[in-house]
Structure 1
Amino acid sequence: MFELERITAGYDRRHPVVRDVSLSLAPGESVGLLGPSGCGKSTLARVAALLHRPDAGLVRIDGRPAGGWRHRAPREQRTAIGVVFQQPRLAADPRLTLHDLIAEPLRATGRRDEVPGRVARLAAEVGLGGELLARRPHAVSDGQLQRACLARALVLRPRWLVCDEMTAMLDASTTAALVAVVEAYRGEEGAGLLAVGHDRVLLERWCDRTADWDEIAGAPAPTETAAPGA
């Protein structure tokens, strides 16, 4: 299971943007988190991806509490989660080619021998030809860059995926293609998915169930549960 228990989080402890939110998903399950822009769902997604430490609450991954946040998270937990953000240009190092962008997690975890085969396979699956792989982010479209970012998120074969408004900046055909890639991966690996967005039609078609932000958020912030140390 992947569990978010009574999460309170934000960027100023006096004014949290997420208050007392709980959400869980089972292995292989896809859950859509539906809410308007600015409600706090992207902050919750960052907490789920171990990229933002909550002020209170608990994250459990495969039954174990999160052991830290960002680079302090244990590698086993950090690599169990693949994440795709809304804005690929903010999530991609502009100095890297698309090939190196996809390969980066493998190199960072000492799995360089897997780079040629894994990158080639994923590039083909997300629809990136060899010529595009040699380009840097400034030389490709948003849709092409998001394809590379999705491939990067999948390259370590994560058990859990967090897609935060992954398709918000994409046209309908690219959206359909990337959703199909995610679903093929989930079918192959049995991964769970948290898909965050504001498009109810898309999330209800894509996911096994949807959670409405208004129904899971808004209770008074808890005081008795401390977040794990960074």
Structure 2
Amino acid sequence: MTTHTNAPLPTNEAMRPILEMRQVTQTYTLARQKLFEARPTLTVLDHIDFDVRPGEAVGLVGESGSGKTTLTRILTGMEQPREGHVLFDGRDVWTAEPSHRQLFRRSVQVVMQNPRSSLDPRMRLGASLLEPLRSLRIEGDHAARVYQVLDQVGLSRNALERFPHEFSGGQLQRIAIARALMSGPKVLIADEPVSALDVSIQAQVLNLLKDLVRDLGLALVFIAHDLSVVAYTTSRVSVMSAGRIVEIGKPLDLFTHPKAEATRNLVGAILTVESGLAGNALA
């Protein structure tokens, strides 16, 4: 028998991070400049601390070359850091047993900038959505899961028989989000997910991501170079520059009182901000 209590649910601040980086450094070895010299190294990430909790949307912004792409690859397990730790549900993903690694692969999914490039143009939407379930060997009623995810992203069931070229850019991004949701992840990492979309469509996709965080309790990491877009979607933002996180704060604080030079440059690069978009973002 289930016992009900009146204890409040834990807040995001009280929860343990579901995904985090602790003092992560990543370096790459470059080609020799001279025959007998040691090969030089390039430090791309320099002692990065970063985390996200269930039901929380956090942003990561920075100019091109700041290290966002490398950080994404490490957060998703595509690269192992040279130093530091990547923890999923409190355990290091690179030293844990294979079953935890498998859980990590299912639980951390990515939404890319260009969904068209990740879809097979010869494959109907229904087959594309089933692919993650098969590749990750997830059991259960696959058809029911497809219908459930379609509802979550606002697509009709008749879309299952269509090919990628039959969808608009906004619909394709919803499909990319749907594919990421198929495995039942706990963390979504959205890497520049709206930069190629019109402003009106951007708002629809951003609202969808916010709804998923709220309704499913997902942790969202939103990575972009546009501070205004990240501010609309997230409650906490980290600013990267030259491989380091140079400032962390709430979007409104970063907009109105930027401290780091990199943050000031990002704020200065925002020529216009739609009033409705900014109003929701900075409330």
Give the shorter-chain TM-score range. 0.7 to 0.9
Partner of residue 171 from structure 2, selected from 127, 140, 144: 144
Per-residue deviation at 1:5? 1.5
Q: State the aligned residue count.
A: 217
Provide, for residues 120-171 of structure 1, a one-character-per-residue CA deviation record: whole Å limited to 9, x for no partner: 2322332333443323334433332221111011112211111111111112
**Which 5+ residue runs of structure 1 have no aligned equivalent?**
220-230
Give the distance between the partners of 2:243 and 2:49, measured in 1 at CA: 7
Asked if 1:156 is matched to 2:176, the reply is: no
Partner of residue 124 from structure 1, selected from 137, 148, 151: 151
Instruction: After TM superposition, list the pairs within 5 Å mapping 1:30-179 onto structure 2.
Output: 30-67=57-94, 74-111=101-138, 113-179=140-206
In angstroms, what is the RMSD of aligned CA positions?
2.6
Give the distance between the partners of 2:227 and 2:219, measured in 1 at CA: 19
Asked if 1:15 is matched to 2:32, the reply is: no
Q: Which amino acid aligns with 1:3?
A: E
Q: Which amino acid aligns with 1:212?
A: V
Q: Which amino acid aligns with 2:89?
A: D
Contact 1:102 1:149 in 2 (8 A): no
Which residue matches 1:209? 236
Distance 1:187 1:147, change over 3 A: same
Partner of residue 4 from structure 1, selected from 14, 18, 21: 21
Per-residue deviation at 1:57? 2.0
TM-score normalised by structure 1 residue count: 0.82
Provide, for residues 50-104 of structure 1, a one-character-per-residue CA deviation record: whole Å limited to 9, x for no partner: 1222222210011000137xx9982111111121011213333334322222221
Give the distance between the partners of 2:29 and 2:154, measured in 1 at CA: 41
TM-score normalised by structure 2 residue count: 0.68
Contact 2:67 2:242 in 1 (8 A): no
Give the distance between the partners of 1:205 and 1:26, measured in 2 at CA: 18
Contact 2:66 2:242 in 1 (8 A): no
Contact 2:45 2:243 in 1 (8 A): no
Distance 1:215 1:209, change over 3 A: farther
Give the distance between the partners of 1:94 and 1:11, measured in 2 at CA: 35
Which residue matches 1:228? none
Larger gyration radius, structure 1 or structure 2: 2
Give the distance between the partners of 2:132 and 2:122, measured in 1 at CA: 16
Contact 1:98 1:145 in 2 (8 A): no
Which residue matches 1:224? none
Between 1:161-170 and 1:121-130, the stretch displaced more is 121-130
Contact 1:10 1:43 in 2 (8 A): no
Asked if 1:190 is matched to 2:207, the reply is: no
Q: Which amino acid aligns with 1:5?
A: R
Distance 1:94 1:74, change over 3 A: farther
Between 1:210-219 and 1:146-155, the stretch displaced more is 210-219
Contact 2:67 2:241 in 1 (8 A): no
Contact 2:46 2:243 in 1 (8 A): no
Percent of aligned pairs with the same amino acid: 32
